[in-house]
Structure 1
């Protein structure tokens, strides 16, 4: 199962997200759940960088792990754009979860310390 964890700060802003695991919907190369999650998440990160100039801290591994952390101290304008793009990513992932919930789970958490 693909596990997505979205961490929001006390102000409800998305601070980071991680994606790990495998969907096991189909064989490697034919797994539309995995492909969809990958396209949506990597596309969102690319959009954040291209459209806002913000470079998130990214960690990616070959086993399907992806971590993205938004830098602190962004201007209000940049942060609003980043948040909109990441919220769009979440909506897309939730759409995948609605159809393929046995292969992907999204969890939301609050950051303990800011």
Structure 2
């Protein structure tokens, strides 16, 4: 199962972590894993490119792992843009969870 943990402070997403594998299909044909990966990596790339923001990223391992943290200080207008992109990512992940709840779980901290 993929576990998505979203960490908020002052009602803003400060970091998120994805771990595990969906195992919803054979290796290379796991649509849940592919969807979650596309949404999360696409969001990270969009934040870095469109918001010109460096993120603290850790990824890899056999366990399917991605950890993304925002820098401590961002200008308010940049933070607003980042939050919009992160919230959009979360909506997409929740859509996947709604359809495939046996393979993905989202929790907020």
Scaled by the length of structure 2, the TM-score of the pair is 0.98
Unaligned ranges ≥5, structure 1: 110-114
Q: What residue is the counterpart of 1:95 in the other structure?
A: 95
Whether 1:16 and 2:15 are equivalent positions in the alignment is yes
Q: Which runs of 4+ in 1 moved over 4 A?
A: none
Once the two structures are TM-superposed, the CA of residue 72 in structure 1 deviates from its matched residue by 1.1
Once the two structures are TM-superposed, the CA of residue 62 in structure 1 deviates from its matched residue by 3.1
**Residues paired across the two proteins, number:** 108
Aligned mates of 2:66, 2:14 — CA distance in 1: 14
Aligned mates of 2:75, 2:14 — CA distance in 1: 14
Q: Which secondary structure does the structure 2 equivalent of 1:94 belong to?
A: helix
Q: What residue is the counterpart of 1:56 in the other structure?
A: 55
Unaligned ranges ≥5, structure 2: none
Over aligned residues, Cα RMSD in angstroms?
Answer: 0.5
Once the two structures are TM-superposed, the CA of residue 21 in structure 1 deviates from its matched residue by 0.3
Aligned mates of 1:45, 1:62 — CA distance in 2: 18
1:19-72: CA deviation from partner (whole Å, max 9, x where unpaired):
000001000100000000000000000000010000110000132100000101
